[in-house]
Each structure stands twice: as C-alpha cells, then as structure tokens.
Chain A
Amino acid sequence: MIALDHHVLELGVRWLHVASMALMLGGALLLWMSLRAPLTSEAAPLRAATTYEGAFWAAAGLIVLTGVGNIAAFGRALLPAETGWGVAFLWKLLVIVGLLGASVVRSLAVAQLASRASETRSMPATVSPTRAIARLYGVTAGAIALAVALAVVMAHGT
C-alpha cells in the first residue's frame, strides 16, 4: 500500500474543498450575469445552465466529503459547539443546507425549462422563467459567499 504523507493528504483535501467552492461560486456568478442580460435565444444559456447544474451537485458532494475531512483534521483539538468557533461552524452548516435546498429547486426548474426547450425548440416569448432562475443564481452566489465568510471566521477566529 502506498504511504501518503498526512500533511500532503490534508492539503489535497483542502484544495479539493476550495476548488469545489470556486466552481460553484464562479459558475453561479457567470450564469447570473448571463441570464440577466437581454437574450436573443435562451437555448445556449440553458445548455450552459444544465451543464453547470450537473457540475454543481458533483462539487456539492465533494464539499461535504472534504468538509468532514477538514473537521477530522482537527482531531481532539476540535472546539465544542458552545464556543464562537462552534457557533460559526453550525451557522455555516445551516447556510449550506439552505443553499442545497434552494439549489434543488433551481436544478429542477432548469431541467424543466431545458426539457421544454428541447421539445418545442423555442422558449416562450416571456423570459420570466429564466429571469427567475437568474435570481436563484444570484441567491446561490450570495449564499456561497456567506458560507465562505463563515469559513474565514472559523479559520481566523471569532
């Protein structure tokens, strides 16, 4: 069996955690900006959104996976829930659960719009569904930014 240096493994887990967050945040900001602009065709942004949604959930799973790994790295030095760190940690988890719940709604709505677009080969004249989804991408980016801010609080003390 290959013996992997403990610190290299920890660094790899943290890198994957941050890279997953960057993918989620960057993609959400890009789609928020793309879908807010006047659209001549909704097919291309919807294709991009569908691809993003698939990647978003892969990154979400990796965030949770590596997040538990990051917590495990604290070992016995893990601070209890009553401390400032513990409160920030619990708030971060709450924000993530809210983000995931809102993201399911967004993903399912994108799936429905993409399905309708492929069936009719054109979108309805009104652009309200994609405007609503654009708002959800804005909310997604805001929630991720909040989780990042809480992560900074946890890393540098309260």
Chain B
Amino acid sequence: MRRADLASWSLGTFHACVLAIALLVVVYRLGGLDDALAGLSTAHGFALFLGLWAATVLTTTRALEAYRRSPAAPGGDLGPLVPSALRWGALNGVLFLWYLAVTQLVAVLASRPRLETLMLVPAAMPFLTIASLVAFVVGALVGLVFGTIDVQLLRLARSVAGASGVEVTRT
C-alpha cells in the first residue's frame, strides 16, 4: 500500500472521526450508548475504529487519486471529486462490513475454537451478500455527503493558501 499523502491522510481521518462522533451522538441521544458500549470489549472497540480508520483513509486516497487523474483536475474544477467520493464511499461501506464480519468471526473463534463455528461461515454468506448491498448504498450516501463537504473545505483551503487554482496536492 502506498503511503497516504497529507491531503488523503487529513481528509480520510476527518471522515472516520466525524463518522464515529456522529454515530456516538445519535446513539447517546437515543439513550442506548451505555448498552452499546457495554457489549463491546476495549480490544474489540479499538479494532473496530482502527478498521474504519484504515478503510476510510485507503478509500479517500483512491478517491483523490481518481480525481487527480480526471481531465478537470488541472483546471481546478472540483466537481468530479463528488462522484469519485460516492464510488469510493460505496466501496468503503462494503470493506468495513467485511472487516466487521471477519473481526466478529475471530472473536467467536477465540472464545469457542471449534470446527462447527467455521461451518457457520457458508451459511452466513447469503446474509453477508444482502448486507453488502445495503453497506454499498449507505457507503455511497456517506461518500456523497463527505464528497460535497470536501469540495467546500478544499475551496476554503485554496482561499487560505492564496492559490489561483485548486490544488489537491500530494505532500
């Protein structure tokens, strides 16, 4: 994996952090945060966020690379960044779901290392397929929202840096 540049690293981490905080606020406001966190060990919670963080930085890096390759990029038109964010956001949703499934399987195998547990995997595949479709759509919507926000943030950064064109630079 290539090292993420500053733009991808900052935007990817921003997305992962805001997503986690938004989820935290919604669950807290609904009154179910203590129950949700009680069912999660520290190691499992850390693994979940680290997975979300890694997948989000990876897909943000790919989305920015796709934008940099687009014909509009040299002219400073940020429009193509939004569809790129939508596509890579959809993939991020699926990636994170599969990561969740693998970490859940590892947690179950660690507590009950039996062959029967592994036999459940083929039975879970139809559910995982349907869940992947849902994650694809949710990821695309989240990507669309963040892509739109990113365009505004990049415009603000351009005005702060005093640039004549929008640069999504690799530094």
Q: Which residues of A contact B (CB under 8 A)?
A: 1, 9, 13, 50, 53-54, 57-58, 60-61, 64-65, 68-69, 71-72, 74-78, 80-81, 86, 89-90, 93, 96-97, 100-101, 103-116, 118, 124, 126, 128-129, 132-133, 136
The complex places the Cα of A1 from the Cα of B167 at a distance, in Å, of 48
**Interchain Cβ contacts under 8 Å between A and B, 22 examples:** A9-B42, A58-B13, A60-B13, A61-B17, A64-B17, A65-B49, A68-B20, A69-B45, A76-B34, A100-B17, A104-B14, A105-B156, A106-B160, A107-B10, A108-B10, A110-B161, A112-B157, A112-B158, A112-B161, A115-B169, A124-B162, A126-B162
* Contact A93–B29 (Cβ < 8 Å): no
* Contact A108–B33 (Cβ < 8 Å): no
B129 CB, min distance to chain A CBs, angstroms: 30
A7 CB, min distance to chain B CBs, angstroms: 12
A63 CB, min distance to chain B CBs, angstroms: 8
The complex places the Cα of A58 from the Cα of B53 at a distance, in Å, of 10
The complex places the Cα of A107 from the Cα of B4 at a distance, in Å, of 14
The complex places the Cα of A57 from the Cα of B157 at a distance, in Å, of 17
Q: Is B7 an interface residue (CB 8 A)?
A: yes
A138 CB, min distance to chain B CBs, angstroms: 13
The complex places the Cα of A93 from the Cα of B14 at a distance, in Å, of 14
In the complex with contacts A104-B10, A115-B171, A69-B38 CB distance below 8 A:
no
